[in-house]
């Protein structure tokens, strides 16, 4: 079961990576064209700012799930060297379970907002507000899956000695 979740998470992470990279390229291209049109030809398109805003929300949520997966979120870890390895794993799992609860709330209310806004349309693109709002529950679900897998790893992993890093060493003299 866990192996299947890991495979699914890997496939979703690869898709998120590609989608977020394409999203950034889209935003850069569309905004560049808009700037050239506006300042070079004294005209512009009505939709690039709105489209860029919504695509950037999707990029942030998809990239956030990749940051969770790769454990690249900000952490305060200067006391970690004083914790026993096994307790450190349990503490990390507890923190991850708390984050899972928060992501569950984010998913639930994000989905509620997306459904509530489904019959309204955006100003310039004239698409349903459902699609921009869907970024929040989609990103939260991806983050939740990755956080769950990390919590299971923390709870089931044997304590291992990690290599000593430079910031772990006591200063000389």
The DSSP secondary structure of 29-89, one letter per residue, reads: HHHHHHHIIIIISS---SSHHHHHHHHHHHHHHHHHHHHHHTT-S----TTGGGS-HHHHH
Mean pLDDT (whole number) for 77-101:
87
pLDDT digits (tens, 9 = 90+) for 42-61: 999 999 999 999 999 999 99
Reported pTM:
0.86
Environment class of residue 87 by beta-carbon count within 10 Å: exposed (0-12), middle (13-18) or buried (19+)?
Answer: exposed
Please say whether the beta carbons of 65 and 147 come within 8 A: no
Give CA–CA dist 30/25, Å, rounded: 8
């Amino acid at each position: 079961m866990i192996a299947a979740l890991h495979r699914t998470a890997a496939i979703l992470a690869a898709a998120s990576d590609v989608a977020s990279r394409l999203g950034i390229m889209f935003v850069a291209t569309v905004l560049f064209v808009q700037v050239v049109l506006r300042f070079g030809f004294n005209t512009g398109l009505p939709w690039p700012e709105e489209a860029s805003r919504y695509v950037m929300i999707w990029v942030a949520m998809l990239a956030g799930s990749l940051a969770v997966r790769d454990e690249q979120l900000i952490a305060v870890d200067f006391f970690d060297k004083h914790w026993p390895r096994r307790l450190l794993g349990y503490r990390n799992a507890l923190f991850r379970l708390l984050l899972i609860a928060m992501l569950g709330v984010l998913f639930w209310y994000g989905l509620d907002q997306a459904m509530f806004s489904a019959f309204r349309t955006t100003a310039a693109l004239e698409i349903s507000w459902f699609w921009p709002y869907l970024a929040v529950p989609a990103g939260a679900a991806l983050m939740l899956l990755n956080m769950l897998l990390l919590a299971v790893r923390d709870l089931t992993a044997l304590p291992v000695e990690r290599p000593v890093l430079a910031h772990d060493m006591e200063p000389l003299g």
